[in-house]
Copies of this chain bind each other. A is one copy, B any other.
Amino acid sequence: MTAAGGPARLSRRGLLGGGAAAAGVAGAFAAGRLTAPETTPVAGPVASYPFHGERQAGIVTPAQDRLHFVALDVTTDDRDELVALLKAWTEAAARMTNGESAGPVGAVDGPGNVPPDDTGEALDLPPSGLTITFGFGQGLFVDADGKDRFGIADRRPEALEQLPRFSADVLDPARSDGDICIQACADDPQVAVHAIRNLVRIGFGTTAVRWSQLGFGRTSTTSTSQSTPRNLFGFKDGTANIKAEETAALDEHVWVGAEDDPRAGWLAGGSYLVTRRINMTIEVWDRQPLESQEQFVGRTKGSGAPLSGGEEFTEPDFAMSGSNGPIIPTDAHVRVVHPDANDGVRILRRGYNFVDGSNDVGGLDAGLFFIAYLRDPRTHFIPLQRAMSRNDALMEYLRFTGQALFAVPPGVAEGEYVGQALFA
């Protein structure tokens, strides 16, 4: 091999460090990043977030632009194999979020006679704000046959149960549930895909992909430094989201408290993750008059201000009345899901727009991949979703085609592995 081990074999790290070949794409990304309000570079010219920390990254991290989410089934019954995989994933995740290859050898720096320990498609790309977030599903604790495969059934969080069905649910089992989930967010989709692909590869023989979802555009802001993006209804989405800066609200609504669940102390400081694949009937939506759309949402389409007036971040005045009753209709989305109507409950949303080809009625298979982090699904998700199902004017334009719930362990300290307290 002419180039084996030669100077052409730059590691991903090498390229980022200033290799000549990095001057094109990587340079442009780096420059772009510095001016973007969404990211807070930890060090150096390229945004990166450390994998280790008190909390897992990818929850309150300023929402990156692109998503690759995967749910896996564990195919082994061997606890040691599972723990070994969690250790391997932790190492790989820490490397990749730092802009390095998935394994210590890399895509092109090893001996030629063995498979590389990185697949290579992110070789020339910077970390791109990559975060990798792990969660554990109910099936990891008790499998479909009721079996405690890994000796952790007695540590299953009480709230980690099968979610109920809601109206408008047409859930596809092949797009729902899973023993383990991995959320990769990045500002470059190739970096997010590379991360998931390499973690899936490391799990080969121990886990299998159950479902996977790409999101092309974020719909939520998780930091006050971000401007509000739009969903495929054309409306700003996430205006009233909890922001990373609201630490008291995060403690109240997102992070699992130390006393929340005595049998699941390992989850303290973590969170619950709910995903819902929400198909939007966009062709029908697009035929509604602007005023109707705005009344369904309860906000103006342009600025995102509540119909009661003001600008985007003005609090809605639900008491304001016009000649035809409340200015913000009783079934407007903003009213139905508002904390005032839901015992003060708030959640942290982190959703993404998706288009997955075409549907069977000559339109696009498109919508919102809803992701929310919350302290307890029994208080923070199920009642909210029931209220939506019952009252929300938007429901006519939504079909729920996938659903999953995961317990998201707290952050990983240096030298530990993700979920270690669960298996200790």
Q: Which residues of A contact B (CB under 8 A)?
A: 1-4, 8-10, 21, 23-25, 27-28, 31-32, 35-38, 66, 68, 70, 73, 75, 107-108, 110-116, 118-124, 175, 188-190, 193, 196-197, 200-201, 204, 207-214, 216-217, 226-227, 229-235, 282-283, 286-291, 293-294, 300-303, 305, 307-309, 311, 327, 353, 355-359, 361-366
Contacts and interface: CB of A to CB of B under 8 A. Distances in A.
Contacts of A227: 21, 23-25, 124
A365 B209 CA distance: 10
Contacts of A66: 189, 216
A121 B212 contact: no
A365 B355 CA distance: 15
Given A3-B300, A216-B193, A302-B10, A229 B364 contact: no
B9 A302 contact: yes
Nearest to A204: B283
Contacts of A210: 358
Contact of A121 (B204, B231, B303): B231
Contacts of A111: 290
Given A113-B291, A123-B230, A357-B212, A301 B2 contact: no
A112 B289 contact: yes
A110 to B, nearest CB: 6
A285 to B, nearest CB: 8
Contacts of A193: 216-217, 232, 353, 355, 366
A311 to B, nearest CB: 7
A70 to B, nearest CB: 8
B289 A200 contact: no
A355 B10 CA distance: 27
A355 B216 contact: no
Given A66-B216, A201-B286, A308 B208 contact: no
A116 B234 CA distance: 11
B24 A28 contact: no
B358 A357 contact: no
29 contacts: A2-B300, A2-B309, A2-B327, A3-B300, A3-B307, A8-B300, A9-B300, A10-B302, A10-B303, A24-B227, A28-B35, A73-B362, A112-B289, A112-B290, A115-B286, A115-B289, A116-B234, A116-B290, A120-B233, A121-B217, A175-B357, A189-B216, A190-B217, A190-B229, A200-B364, A201-B286, A212-B355, A212-B357, A212-B358
A361 B209 CA distance: 8
A112 B288 CA distance: 10
B234 A121 contact: yes
Given A209-B358, A227-B25, A309-B2, A301 B36 contact: no
Contact of A37 (B28, B232, B234): B28
Given A66-B216, A118-B234, A197-B355, 6 more contacts: A2-B305, A8-B311, A25-B37, A204-B283, A211-B358, A213-B357
Contacts of A108: 290, 300-302
Given A116-B290, A200-B363, A353-B190, A35 B31 contact: yes
Contacts of A282: 119, 197
Contact of A283 (B35, B36, B118, B201): B201
